[in-house]
Amino acid sequence: MSRSSFQQFHWHSKQFALASNDIHAFYHLLAEQMQGLALTKKTLGHIEGYPLELYQSANPQPKLANVLISAGFHGEEAAGPWGMLKFLSTLEPSITEQLNLSLLPLVNPTGFKAGHRFNQFGENPNRGFLVDKGRAKPAEDCSREGQLLIAQQALLKNLSQDGILTCHEDVLQHNCYVYSFEPEAAAGPFSYTLRDSLAEYFPVAADESIDGCKLEDGLIHNHYDSSFESCLVKLGAKRGACSETPALEDFDQRINANCAVMQQFVSASIEYHTKQV
C-alpha cells in the first residue's frame, strides 16, 4: 500500500466537538490559546488566502534552549495540529521562562482543509528541502510552503538549535513510531523518551521496514532525506524527531498522543539544556 496524495480523510473529534478539517475553528481556537502566552506571531506568507504562521518567544533569552515544534505538513495527518492546540491549553505562561519555544502549528492549510496529504496544487510540503554547503535550498519540486520556510532559514535555524519536533501521522498504521535524529550518535534517551510517550497510547511498531527505512525499537534513526526536520538537523539542530501516530486508530487518542509527545519533547529539551549549561 502507498499513501495517496488526494485521498480525503475526515474524522470527528469528541473532545473538540469538531470535524478534523474545520480550518476556521482551528485558526480561531489557535488565536484563543495563544492569548496569555508570551509568543509573537509572524506570518510567513499565505497559501490560497490561508496564513502560514510561525509563533516564537516574545523575549527569547540567550541562556535557554531554542526549540521548534511543527505540525500539519501533511493535510490528512490532522491529529498533529489538533494535538498542538491541546498542548497549548496545558502550557503555563511561565513556559517561556524555561525555554525559547517556537511553533509552526499548521504548515499545509489547504491540505488540512481538504483532508488530503498534499497541498491543493499537488505538492508535498515535506519534501524538497535540500542542503548544500550549510545552506538550505529548494529542490525543483519544492512546495509553496517549503519555499516560504526556506526563505526563513536563518531564523528557523536559530529557533531550532537545540531541537526540532515535527508531528506526523501514518494513515497505513495501527502502531506508532518515531524518526529520530541524534547527529553522529546512536539513538539515546532523547529518542526513546519520545517513542515511550507515544507508547502510552498505542503499541510500538514491530521491527520492520517502513517506506524502505529500517525500523528498530520503534525508531528510524538518523535517516536523512529532503524533509523539513532532516534539513534543520543538517543545518545544525542538536536533536530532532518526527513522531508518527497511527491514523487507523481513534482520532481523539491520536490528538492526546500528539499532545503528549510535544510535552515530552519540551521537558526533555529543558532537561538536556540544563545538564549541558
Residues that bind Ni ion (CB under 5 A): 74, 77, 168
Burial class (CB in 10 A: 0-12, 13-18, 19+), 120: middle
Region label for 40, one of left (φ > 0), alpha (ψ between -120 and 50) or beta (otherwise): beta
Nearest approach, Cβ of residue 124 and Ni ion (Å) = 9
Residue nearer to Ni ion on the CB measure, 13 or 124: 124
Nearest approach, Cβ of residue 277 and Ni ion (Å) = 34
Residue nearer to Ni ion on the CB measure, 168 or 239: 168
Nearest approach, Cβ of residue 16 and Ni ion (Å) = 21
**16, amino acid identity:** F
In the complex, residue closest to Ni ion by CB: 168
The total of other beta-carbon atoms located within 10 Å of residue 27's CB is 16
Residue nearer to Ni ion on the CB measure, 117 or 221: 117
The total of other beta-carbon atoms located within 10 Å of residue 193's CB is 17
Residue nearer to Ni ion on the CB measure, 74 or 221: 74
Question: Residue ranges of the alpha helices (H) in the chain?
Answer: 23-34, 79-90, 109-114, 144-150, 153-159, 189-199, 228-234, 251-276
Nearest approach, Cβ of residue 53 and Ni ion (Å) = 19
